[in-house]
Homo-oligomer: A and B are copies of this chain.
Amino acid sequence: MRPVVIAGVGMIPFERTEEGGLVEMLATAGLNALVDAGVDDRPVDAVYLGNMASGLFNHQEAVASALVDSLALMPAAAERVENGPASGGSAIKNGFLAVASGFSDIVLVVGGEKMREVIGPKATDIVATMTHPMAEYVYGVTLPAQAGMFARLYMTKYGITRHHLAQVAIKNQNNGLLNPYAHIQMKITEEGILTHPQAHINNPVVADPLYLYDCCPVSDGAAAVLLTTPEIAKALKKPQVIIAGVGQATDTHALQEREDPTDLKAVTLAAKKAFEMAGAQPKDIDVAELHDAFTILEIAESEHAGFFKKGEGAQALDAGVTQIGGKLPINPSGGLKARGHPVGATGVAQIVELVWQLRGTAGKRQVKEAQTGFSLNFGGFGNNVLAFVVRREA
């Protein structure tokens, strides 16, 4: 396989987008990555779009064809890759394969979702269409409900408390305040969301033991990366941030069918594969972006990916290890919790953040001397997971 360099990155601020449609959002993020890479008039060979549910959110399909037209990149190949909340990661993997195989030299990967075109609980229903149709969806299971049940089991098993969950939310919203692309720009405290007698008014229950501030917001947003060969990246005078490892694994579609529902096997396997391909270990990672759609997931993923032993993630969090400035900063971007989670954008936005960190251009949230980054994009309720190791080469 040829090495693959991330030569350009771009985003638009995640928020509730009032103006423009899905394609405009995607095109703007894509254009930002093209400009960042300085591609100029070099032909782009392929466009990969990570998007979960443009049909249901926006009543539009074949959006990749619309995007390639909006960016005037015809006759570039174009297709959408869908893998629920891991659609962005899957799009990057396939863009990576296009370059790694030698089939394409310059590939643009855009991830995005415009979720707020639908009103009220409909977004939660659309997200729930990723659950098992007969074992889960028909019973009214939503993703917050699954996360609540998972959190209850996980917290009981490992002695995790709502204090720990609050620490994830507080850390990530603090990080989000340092990220102009983050949807949620708001400082919170343990008193305000947990210990004050009126905290339950600020922070109502969603699916016990998960409360409002344990859940990521519903956002519109898009992010993009430009993938190419080391030679072309050199000609573009871009830092050699390479995709060193790619791992993907699936697990039972329905959460209830897992022997131990607290064991996120696909996370463990995907991370292991990505580390093996990169010739790296968890201890080599300087900065990580994990898929904290719910606070409990950041803790559970940090353990399953191999950064901490099972049951020790919450202590590491409490000890400040995962803060910017700690030994392993997790979600310096603010994560899904603060940056937001426009479903198809997330896996791409994670890589964008890592590239900024490895280039040393992450501003106030810069992790010092970051050279190797890790991201984890969690599809379904852990039934389809992608992991990446990215590395700045000399």
Which residues on A are within 8 Å of B, measured CB to CB?
Answer: 1, 21, 23, 46, 52-53, 55-56, 59-62, 64-66, 68-70, 73-84, 87, 90, 93-94, 97-98, 100-103, 126, 129-130, 132-134, 137, 246, 248-254, 265-266, 269, 379-380, 383-384
Bound CA–CA A87/B62 (angstroms) = 9
**Which of these, B82, B97, B134, contacts A62 with CB under 8 Å?**
B82
A69 in contact with B129 (CB, 8 Å):
no
Bound CA–CA A61/B137 (angstroms) = 11
Specify the chain B residue showing the minimal Cβ separation from A70: B253
Q: How far in angstroms is the closest Cβ of chain B from A272?
A: 10
A69 in contact with B133 (CB, 8 Å):
no
Q: How far in angstroms is the closest Cβ of chain B from A346?
A: 14
Asked whether A101 and B133 contact (CB < 8 A) given A78-B83, A82-B64, A384-B78, the answer is no
B250 in contact with A65 (CB, 8 Å):
yes
**Which of these, B69, B78, B252, contacts A69 with CB under 8 Å?**
B252
Bound CA–CA A250/B81 (angstroms) = 17
Bound CA–CA A84/B251 (angstroms) = 28
**Which of these, B52, B65, B251, contacts A74 with CB under 8 Å?**
B251
Q: How far in angstroms is the closest Cβ of chain B from A60?
A: 5
A266: which B residues are within 8 A, CB to CB? 74-75
B74 in contact with A250 (CB, 8 Å):
yes
**Which of these, B55, B60, B132, contacts A133 with CB under 8 Å?**
B60
Bound CA–CA A55/B130 (angstroms) = 9
A132 in contact with B66 (CB, 8 Å):
yes
Interface of A is mostly: mixed
**Which of these, B53, B66, B87, contacts A55 with CB under 8 Å?**
B53
A103: which B residues are within 8 A, CB to CB? 1, 97, 100, 246
B66 in contact with A83 (CB, 8 Å):
no
B62 in contact with A250 (CB, 8 Å):
no
What are 11 A-B residue pairs whose CB atoms fall within 8 Å in the complex?
Answer: A56-B59, A61-B129, A66-B253, A68-B250, A74-B250, A77-B93, A78-B83, A79-B90, A79-B384, A97-B101, A97-B103
Specify the chain B residue showing the minimal Cβ separation from A51: B82
A55: which B residues are within 8 A, CB to CB? 53, 55-56, 126, 129
A126: which B residues are within 8 A, CB to CB? 55, 61
A56: which B residues are within 8 A, CB to CB? 55-56, 59, 61
A249 in contact with B380 (CB, 8 Å):
no
A379: which B residues are within 8 A, CB to CB? 62, 65
CB-based closest 9 A-B pairs = A62-B84, A101-B101, A62-B130, A69-B253, A55-B55, A75-B249, A77-B248, A79-B90, A55-B56
